[in-house]
Amino acid sequence: MEPLNRFGQGLWNRIRKGHMSTVFTILGTLSACVLAGSILTGNVSAKQAVDSSDARPLVIPNPVTLSNGFSAIVKEIGPAVVNINTETLPKETSNGGNGGPQGQGDQGMQDFFNHFFGVPGGGGGQENQGPSRALGSGFIVDSRGYILTNYHVVDGADRIYVKLSSDPQNSPDPGRLATVVGFDKDTDIAVIKIHSDKPLPTVKMGNSDGVEVGDWVLATGEPFGLSQTVSAGIISAKNRSIDEGADAHQVAKGEFQKFLQTDAAINPGNSGGPLVDMAGQVIGMNTAIYTQSAGNEGIGFALPSNTIINVYNQLIGPDHKVVRGSIGVQFQANTSSAVAKMYGFPNGGVIVSEVVPGGPAAKAGVQPQDIIVSVDGKSIRDGDELISIVSEKHPGTTISLGIIRAGKHISLDCGIEDRNKLYANLGTGATASGPSSPSNAGEVKFGVSVQPTTSEMNSTLHISGGVVVANVKPGSFADAIGLYQGAVITEINRKPVTDVAGFNAIANGLKSGDDVVFVVRNPQNPGGGDSFIGGTLP
C-alpha cells in the first residue's frame, strides 16, 4: 500500500504545482489501455463463432432391459392393481339420528324428546356439508371382478368405486361401482366385486411361508391418489405383531395379524395394494405403517399372502364370513423364562390365565394355571401357535389337549366352537350355547334401544301402545334400513308391539336371514299414518 500512497501523493503534488501536462499524459495512457482491452475482448468473442459442421448429432439408443427385472414385474402386475375411492354420505354427529324420513329439523326431534321424556334426546348434531371421500388400493384376484383390499379402506362407505389401470385417470368419472362380498375385521381384509363384460387381468398369488428377511419386494398402489406408483425395498422382518392391547373382556386385538415388515415406501393410499416378490407373485397386502409424520418412515407392514388366501376362500363362500375355532381360554401373550421354569414348561407351552365360563375348555375340565403343551400330539411353543392351530379347526370338531397340571401330564378332549359366537356371548353375559338375553334382544339383533311410549304420545298418535326408538347404533341393521331415532314402533312382522318386553320377545325369536318389517309412526307427523321399514337380518 505504501508505493501506491506515494504515487497518489506525487500526483496530487504535481496537480497542486500546476504540472497539468504530466497529468493529461498519464490519463491519456490509461484511456488507451482501456480501449485496447475492449478491442482485444471483442476479438476473442468473434473467434468463439466456430464452424461446427463436423459435429456429430447424438442418437437415442435402443432400450435396454436391466438385470434387476423390476420393470418386467411392474408390467406384469400393474394391470391388476386398482384404485379404490369411497364416498360416505353425511350423517348426524349425535346419537345416530337422521331426522326421520320426512327430514324434519334437528330441533324438532330435540323438542319431541324433551316433551315426552323430560330429558335431552338425540338429533342435536349438525350435518356435514357434503359427502366425505377416501382413497385406497386393491388388486384383482379373479377375472370375474373379485378384488382384495383392506377392510379399513371400505369400512363405513356408502358407495365404493373402482378404477382400473386401463380407465382414464383424469376423468371426473369416479369409476365402476363395487359391492362388498364379505369382510373380516380381525385381519382387516375385505373382498369387493365389480361387473365387467370381459375377463379382467389378475395377479399371481404366492406362498408367504417362503419369504426370507432380506428378499427384494415391490409395493404397488395409489399413495395420495397417485396412480400406479411403485416403490422397492426388502423384507426387514417376519411374523411382526402390532400391539393393540385388549378389549373390555381382555380378548387380544390383532391376534390374527402377523405381518411382513418392509422398508419399501408405503404411504396413505397404499392400503390394500399388493406387496410383490421378484417372481412377480403377491406375497402380502400393504396394510399399515409405523410413522410419526403421517408419511413413510421406512417401516411398513403387509399381511402375508397365506393369511389372505385363507380368509378370501371363506369370504367368497355361501355365508360370506370367516369362522374361526376357539376353545375358550385366555392367556398372557408373553411370559418370561423365569415363569416358564417355575411352572415347568421351559421348552414351550401356554399357561392358561382364565377359562371362559360355559366354553369348550371349561366343559373339558381345563383350569387356570394349566399349561397347554400340545394339540393333537403336536407340541406348541407359544400362544400364537396355539391360536393358529385352533382357529383353523372347524366348529363341532374335537381336539386332544396335552396339559401339565401341578407337574403332571394329562390329556383332555376338548370341543371347538365358533370364536365369534363364543366371545359375543361372553360380551352379552350369555352362555356359549344359550340364546340372546330377552332383555336386550333388540339391541343385539337390530342395534336399537327403545323406551315405552307415554299415554300422551299414544293419544297424539292414536295408538294403543308401542315403543319409541331412543338410539340407533351407527352401522347396525336398524341404521342400514333407515330406522330412525324417535320412530314409534307399533308392529314387527305383523305382530303388535305394545311395550318393551313384547318388542324384545319378538326380536329374540328372529335369526340371521329372516326378513324383518317394522310398522312405525312419526311423532312429528301425527297424521301421516303408518310407515313400513324393512330388511333382511345379516
* Lookup: cell for 479: 341404521
The per-residue pLDDT for range 290-312, each reduced to its tens digit, is: 665 555 566 889 999 999 999 99
Would the pLDDT of 79 be above 60? yes
The per-residue pLDDT for range 234-266, each reduced to its tens digit, is: 999 988 877 554 443 334 455 677 889 998 888
510 shares a domain with 439: yes
| 353: containing domain | 325-424
188 catalytic? Reply is yes
Query: Residue 26: inside a domain, yes or no?
Result: no
218 shares a domain with 166: yes
Residue that finishes a domain, picked among 297, 315, 333: 315
| Beta strands at 281-289 and 204-205: parallel, antiparallel or unpaired | parallel
Residue that finishes a domain, picked among 389, 424, 459: 424
Q: How many domains does the chain have?
A: 3
By 3-state DSSP, what share of the chain in percent is helix, strand and coil, each rounded to 5?
A: 30, 30, 45
More confident residue, 386 or 427: 386
Q: Say what percent of the chain tops pLDDT 70.
A: 75
What is residue 125's predicted lDDT score, i.e. its pLDDT?
43
Contacts of 338 (CB under 8 A, 6+ apart): none
What is residue 363's predicted lDDT score, i.e. its pLDDT?
93
Range with lowest mean pLDDT among 37-41, 225-229, 528-532: 37-41
What is residue 66's predicted lDDT score, i.e. its pLDDT?
61
Mean pLDDT of 325-353: 83
493 shares a domain with 367: no
Tell me the H-state helices in 299-418: 305-315, 337-342, 360-364, 383-391
- From 137, 184, 186, 188, active-site residue: 188
Strand partners, 449: 471
Residue 460 CA: distances (Å) to CA of 84, 224, 369, 456: 49, 54, 62, 6
273 shares a domain with 166: yes
Contacts of 1 (CB under 8 A, 6+ apart): none
- From 115, 142, 152, 449, active-site residue: 152
394 catalytic? Reply is no
271 catalytic? Reply is yes
**pLDDT band (50, 70, 90) for residue 425:** low
Domain containing 218 — which CATH number? 2.40.10.120
Secondary structure element (H or E) that encloses residue 480, with its range: helix 477-481
154 shares a domain with 104: no
The per-residue pLDDT for range 402-413, each reduced to its tens digit, is: 999 988 999 999
Mean pLDDT of 475-483: 90
Query: Residue 521: inside a domain, yes or no?
Result: yes
410 shares a domain with 387: yes
The per-residue pLDDT for range 363-400, each reduced to its tens digit, is: 999 998 899 999 999 999 888 889 888 988 989 999 99
**pLDDT band (50, 70, 90) for residue 421:** confident
Closest CA to 86 of 160, 194, 183, 184: 160
What is residue 127's predicted lDDT score, i.e. its pLDDT?
46
Residue 288 CA: distances (Å) to CA of 113, 261, 271, 299, 318: 43, 10, 7, 9, 30
- From 137, 227, 271, 374, active-site residue: 271
**Residues 494 and 470: beta-carbon distance below 8 Å:** no
459 shares a domain with 385: no
466 shares a domain with 382: no
Query: Residue 262: inside a domain, yes or no?
Result: yes
CA distance 497 to 504: 9
Closest CA to 443 of 116, 203, 96, 112: 96
Domain containing 536 — which CATH number? 2.30.42.10
527 shares a domain with 400: no
**Average pLDDT for the chain:** 79
C-alpha angle with apex 337: 332 to 338, nearest 5 degrees? 95
The per-residue pLDDT for range 164-211, each reduced to its tens digit, is: 988 887 777 888 999 999 999 889 999 999 999 999 999 999 999 999
What is residue 254's predicted lDDT score, i.e. its pLDDT?
57
Query: Residue 8: inside a domain, yes or no?
Result: no
Residue that finishes a domain, picked among 385, 404, 424: 424
More confident residue, 481 or 432: 481
284 shares a domain with 164: yes
